[in-house]
Amino acid sequence: MRKQIAAANWKMNLTYQDGEKLLDEILDAGISLAPHQHAIFAVPFPYLIMTRSEVAEEYNFHAAAQNCHHKTAGAYTGEVSVEMLQSIGVHYCVIGHSERREYNAETNAMLAAKVNLCLEYGITPIFCCGEPLDIREAGTQNDFVATQLKESLFHLTAEQLRTIIIAYEPIWAIGTGKTASTEQAQEIHQYLRSVLAGKFGAEVADEVPILYGGSVKAGNAAELFASPDVDGGLVGGASLVAADFVSIIRALK
């Protein structure tokens, strides 16, 4: 079965102590994941080593960075390289979250460079795509997200593509309390998979987990994840509350 993933995105929230307490509460819930199920915590950079060691003994629990720089190394004050992440044992990195695309002017070409570096250093990119509200209202969301995939991922080989994770996150649903309906989510996830199949073949496209992100909550996760092409979620707000994120992990297929 394709991997099913609950990924937490803490964004710029929580102190170190609060983060450690939250992780402890989640791990204390005694969740037992199946081999195809994974829980990933995308935490602020200063919490990565703590998170990695907290989850080290847990089956299929992982730490993730929320970003990395698109250059290998050098005079980029304040930035964090993929090699640095690799050197502390981090194996996942969120790439192209809409907040970074918007506030840090990240382009599809820059994200392609980040994806390349991640793959070179053995880090799995969690590649985010998704349309703003005006594009959804104009009904052109499929073309919009297909372009994001084409410009950041279509240079990869099929072997590389099968190792990545995609997160579809409609911007109008992130942090707004508005969730895409299960039908809307399934429809665009199926479309994204067909775009991947067109370029890399159906067998490869079938292996790529496509997560849904945008106001996933304890109360709607099971319904969203039940759709055949929704392979879990990338979760912001609800990942900051232990009981809620535990329920979301338990809602994985």
Tell me which residues are annotated as active site: 97, 169
Q: How far is the CB of 118 from ligand PEP (least distance, A)?
A: 18
Which is closer to ligand PEP, CB of 132 or CB of 237? 237
Asked if 81 interacts with ligand PEP (CB under 6 A), we say: no
Q: How far is the CB of 9 from ligand PEP (least distance, A)?
A: 4
Window 200 to 219, contacts with ligand PEP (CB under 6 A)? 213-216
Q: Which one of residues 91, 237, 250, 253 is an interface residue with ligand PEP (CB under 6 A)?
A: 237
The single-letter DSSP state of residue 214 is: S
Asked if 169 interacts with ligand PEP (CB under 6 A), we say: yes
Asked if 174 interacts with ligand PEP (CB under 6 A), we say: yes
Asked if 9 interacts with ligand PEP (CB under 6 A), we say: yes
Interacting span for ligand PEP (CB under 6 A) from 21-29, 131-139, 218-226, 229-237:
229-237
Question: Is residue 153 exposed (0-12), middle (13-18) or buried (19+ Cβ within 10 Å)?
Answer: buried
Q: What angle do CA 223, 227, 231 make, to 5 degrees?
A: 100
**How many residues interact with ligand PEP (rule CB under 6 A)?**
14
- Strand residues in the chain grouped as ranges (E): 4-9, 37-42, 61-65, 92-95, 124-129, 165-168, 210-213, 232-235
Asked if 236 interacts with ligand PEP (CB under 6 A), we say: yes
3-class secondary structure, 42? strand
CB 251 within 8 A of CB 221: yes
Residue 62: beta bridge partners?
40
Q: How far is the CB of 107 from ligand PEP (least distance, A)?
A: 19
Instruction: Tell which residue, 49, 52, 39, 91, has the closest CA to residue 68.
Output: 91
Asked if 42 interacts with ligand PEP (CB under 6 A), we say: no
**What's the rounded Cα separation, in Å, for the pair 49 and 85?**
10
Which is closer to ligand PEP, CB of 121 or CB of 240? 240
Residues found near ligand PEP in the complex (CB under 6 A): 9, 11, 169, 174-175, 213-216, 234-238
